[in-house]
Amino acid sequence: MQTELSKKLGVEYAVFGFTPFPAVAAAITRAGGFGVLGAVRYTAPDDLARDLDWMQEHTGGLPYGLDVVMPAKKVEGVGEAEVEAMIPAGHRQFVADTLAKYGVPELAEGEASGWRITGWMEQVARGQLDVAFDYPIKLLANALGSPPADVVQRAHDNGVLVAALAGSARHARHHADAGIDVVVAQGYEAGGHTGEIASMVLVPEVVDAVGPLPVLAAGGIGSGEQIAAGLALGAQGVWLGSLWLTTTEADLHSRALTRKLLAAGSADTVRSRALTGKPARQLRTEWTDAWDDPSGPGTLPMPLQGLLVAEAVSRIQKYEVEPLLGTPVGQIVGRMASERSVQEVFDDLTRGFERAIDRINRIAGRETR
């Protein structure tokens, strides 16, 4: 399960694991993959530095990366307070009415929302990078298109490869023109922000569009057989995110949410703007249904929607209001039926990969092991 890209980065398996949890990212790296820590939840640089210190201590000198959310274009002079002021009163009332309908308690007096999407704002992401480049990260991924040109240059000056997610061949060509080193072809099946094209169609289109740049296949991948399929389509590795949510190292802070993930089938997700304002695949809940209902006010564009629902999501998560409780997750959730360690997941992936290669060799009339 090695490719030119995995060898370049010094990892045993061409499995890139995105996760918001440092313990999961470190375990992915220790298991022979490439752990990528999501930075969007870090609103304070000191918090990110603390967790990168922890990553350093628990990866044994093996490589890992960081994922940020940074737009290629910015609006000068606009901060969080100015953005908050753009949220219509009617939308705030809709949130309040929906929470009241389900009896969601208020946060304690003086308790701040534990979930903010200020990480979508460029000034926050730049603060994260000021911290990140003090650490030996090997890859900087951007989940919102190509990062600004000066960020790409800064990464390259630090010997860091830059990856960007693409939902179409057109997006991928734009990344190549922007000097991106690795394109993540993320199909419609993936958790979080996705485009309209399924992985089986998207991956070879992107490979053809940007070759010889390395491409990672993402979306709907959760077995070794699917990894083999991604490599057969021309990818130099796979980018897995949802699969790690039910690992024992993940820290969801909610047994109720873990139970929902373990019980969900592949048809129990929806691509909704309810969380961030952009289409993002997540568990379908009565919260997503409320926002997608034509009789409601509709969602706001990014980053307004994320700021609008931040406190509500914190309340739903804290009090585990199950009808409303959800998370970004891909259609692969149907395979996530048990809690396993990251190492157990890797063992399963490698066994499945070997089965797939043996199967193809038998079809081709080649001798197998």
User: Residue 76 above 70 pLDDT?
Assistant: no
Confidence category of residue 75, pLDDT binned at 50, 70, 90: very low
User: Residue 262 above 70 pLDDT?
Assistant: yes
Average pLDDT over the chain, rounded to an integer: 93
| DSSP sequence for 83-141 | HHTTS-HHHHHHHHHHHHHTTPPPPPTTPPPS---GGGSHHHHHHHHHHHTTTT-SEEE
User: Residue 17 above 90 pLDDT?
Assistant: yes
How confident is the model over 205-247, as pLDDT tens digits?
999 999 999 999 999 999 999 999 999 999 999 999 999 999 9
Write down the pLDDT at residue 114. 57
**Which of 278, 192, 178, 171 is CA-nearest to residue 239?**
192
How confident is the model over 149-195, as pLDDT tens digits?
999 999 999 999 999 999 999 999 999 999 999 999 999 999 999 99
Given CA atoms 288, 294, 297, 302 in this order, what sign does their dihedral have? positive
Cα–Cα distance for residue pair 68/36, rounded to 1 Å: 10
Assigned token pair, 147 = 């990062």
pTM above 0.85, yes or no: yes
How confident is the model over 295-306, as pLDDT tens digits?
999 999 988 898
Write down the pLDDT at residue 40. 85
What are the residues facing 141 on neighbouring strands? 67, 163
